[in-house]
Amino acid sequence: MKRGYTAYLLCAILLLYSGPPAGALDFNEAIETHVAVNHGPSTDMYIALTFDDGPKPLTPELLAILDTYGVRATFFICGSFVDDWQAEFDLLCDSGHEIGNHSWSHPNLSWLCEYDIIEQLQPTNDLIEDCSGQYPQLFRPPYGAYNQYVIGAAGRMGMATIMWDIDPKDWKDPGPEYIADYVISRATSGSIVLLHEGHPNTLTALPIILDTLMAEGYRFITVGEMLGLYPGIARKVRNEIDYPLKPEERGLF
Ligand SMILES: [Zn+2]
């Protein structure tokens, strides 16, 4: 067998076993196909900023910066953090930003069975809905770790799994210039940017990112808006789901 052909065959096998690619899907497609979304459509100059791991003590400062620019973002929060930062969470709920589910206590969900995955997701959804009046329709797995059980459980709860295409690893606290340069140099139409709450350098980088990309013509919208989620599509999807875990018993939806 020729070497080139062997390499081609290997690539084909790898592709076959790597599962469906993440892509620019709309909300319904993401739910129905159990595929994670890592960017939006490349047709418009829209970018979605996402903030994981809140609420945190710096949440009010972050909200104030976004407010200054008139930008709405998507926050993926952990339910168990709310106990310590209730006032910050209340502020977020009242802010009009989009709030998604980042699990209860930030475990690696790909190591859990479906029952435990639901136990991580449901109470966080309840908290968000009680506080904001919005049932979360977006889910981000902690560590970006998911498998078909994780994505399937989230989907049956009416949530699309959202990844990203730009990750400056701001949680490692590189300098604000590094964070800003990383995001600005990679930003493209449909980008979903992963940032984290609780890091001062991220807050310093944010105005640089917003000023620069807005001057280039980009506009910032939420992930849900990017996926064409509104209005009312998700509720229809949830109602049509044949849920295997007896939602009426679990109080889902
Ligand atoms: Zn996280």
C-alpha torsion angle, residues 210, 85, 119, 25 (rounded to 10): -10
pLDDT digits (tens, 9 = 90+) for 191-216: 999 999 999 999 999 999 999 999 99
The pLDDT value given to residue 1: 45
The pLDDT value given to residue 25: 82
- Give percent above pLDDT 90 in the chain: 73
Is the predicted pLDDT of residue 66 greater than 80, yes or no? Answer: yes
pLDDT digits (tens, 9 = 90+) for 27-44: 888 888 889 999 998 888
- Please tell me which residue in 52, 53, 165, 170 is annotated as part of the active site: 52
* pLDDT (average), residues 5-17: 46
Let me know if 52 is a catalytic residue.
Answer: yes
Tokens of 58: 């710096």
Query: pTM for the whole thing?
Result: 0.83
Domain boundaries, given as residue ranges, for the chain: 21-250
Is the predicted pLDDT of residue 248 greater than 80, yes or no? Answer: no
CA of 143 to the centre of ligand 1 (A): 6
pLDDT digits (tens, 9 = 90+) for 96-137: 899 999 999 999 999 999 999 999 999 999 999 999 998 999
The pLDDT value given to residue 231: 52
CA of 193 to the centre of ligand 1 (A): 13
Cis peptide preceding 21, ω within 30 of 0: no
Let me know if 90 is a catalytic residue.
Answer: no
Q: Which residue has the higher pLDDT, 145 or 234?
A: 145
CATH number of 21-250: 3.20.20.370
The pLDDT value given to residue 23: 53
The pLDDT value given to residue 6: 54
CA of 95 to the centre of ligand 1 (A): 21
Taking CA atoms, 240 is separated from 8, 75, 108, 111, 122, in Å, by 42, 26, 29, 29, 18
Residues 75/50, Cβ–Cβ less than 8 Å: yes
